[in-house]
Amino acid sequence: MPAADHETADPSTSTRAKKPSSKQRMLLAAVELMSEQSAAAITIDEVVARSGAPRGSVYYHFPEGRSQLITEALDLAGVMMNTAIAQGFTGDPAAGIAHIVDYWIRILTHKDFAASCPITSAAIGGSTVDPELVPQAHAIFHTWQELICAELERAGIAKSRTPALATMVVSSIQGAVVLSRAQRDTAPLKQVRKELEQLLQQAQT
């Protein structure tokens, strides 16, 4: 679900955050590019230009070239949302939903609706040029669902219901991100937030 939102990308609580390394800058740039366009369309030249990293460092950090860069960036995007889920769900499912949806609203408005989820981009756009991204995206989505399942169970929702509810959370928010980007309006995300909050509150009773 994430683009390269630096609040989540760099979770360090240090008051003196370290300057990102050239590898980190390239990975964050690749995540941003995947959020803006098809993963298949991303080139090393674009990543170098966006990151400001020395071109000579590309194959030092990514000996396998573009494919390694894209797969590692996709993993980073997945970890960023893992962090958002962990931060948002603190025993209160409604608060968790609000946290994730607000995260996406910030990204869409900050990017003037020119960004969406890089994992979705990989799942849809990687089928022909980068087929290895599709199972990787599937695994990341599955991890999100498992994390949300665990949080819903922790909140007292019946274990028999949590897998379907977690699927609904992920798919609803992903769809709302796409609609919000297409409509240039965060209303779909806000509507989904309200309905999911009510659904999960009812599931706790």
Residue 19 gets which letter from DSSP? P
- pTM equals 0.85
Q: Is residue 15 part of a domain?
A: no
Give me the CATH number covering residue 106.
1.10.357.10
Q: How many residues does the chain have?
A: 205
The rounded mean pLDDT for the chain is 89
pLDDT average, residue stretch 120-125: 85
Q: Is residue 177 part of a domain?
A: yes
How far is residue 39's CA from residue 41's CA, in Å, rounded to a whole number? 5
Q: Is residue 9 part of a domain?
A: no
Q: What is the pLDDT of residues 129-151, one digit of tens each?
A: 788 899 999 999 999 999 999 99
**Structural domain span for residue 185:** 74-204
How far is the first Cα of the chain from the last one, in angstroms, to the nearest whole number? 28
Residues 140 and 187: beta-carbon distance below 8 Å: no
Q: Is residue 23 part of a domain?
A: no
Burial per residue of 93-109, b for 16 or more beta-carbon CB atoms within 10 angstroms, e otherwise: bbebbbbbbbbbbebbe
Looking at residue 127, its pLDDT comes to 62
Looking at residue 40, its pLDDT comes to 79
Q: Is residue 170 part of a domain?
A: yes
Supply the DSSP string of 101-167, one letter for each residue: HHHHHHHHHHTTT----HHHHHHHHTSSS-TTHHHHHHHHHHHHHHHHHHHHHHTT--TTTHHHHHH
pLDDT average, residue stretch 69-80: 95
Q: How far is CA 7 from the centre of its chain?
A: 13
% residues pLDDT > 90 (the chain):
77
* Confidence bin at 38 (pLDDT 50/70/90): confident
Q: What is the pLDDT of residues 168-184, one digit of tens each?
A: 999 999 999 999 999 99
* Phi, psi for residue 63 in degrees, rounded to 5: -60, -25
Q: Is residue 11 part of a domain?
A: no
Q: What is the pLDDT of residues 18-27, one digit of tens each?
A: 778 999 999 9
Kindly tell me if the per-residue pLDDT of 118 is higher than 90: yes
Query: What is the number of alpha carbons within 13 Å of residue 18 lying toward its C-beta?
Result: 7
Residue 172 neighbours by CB distance under 10 Å: 20
Looking at residue 90, its pLDDT comes to 84
Name the domain count of the chain: 1
Kindly tell me if the per-residue pLDDT of 14 is higher than 50: no
Q: Is residue 195 part of a domain?
A: yes
Q: Which helix (H) or strand (E) holds 86?
A: helix 66-88
Q: Is residue 25 part of a domain?
A: no
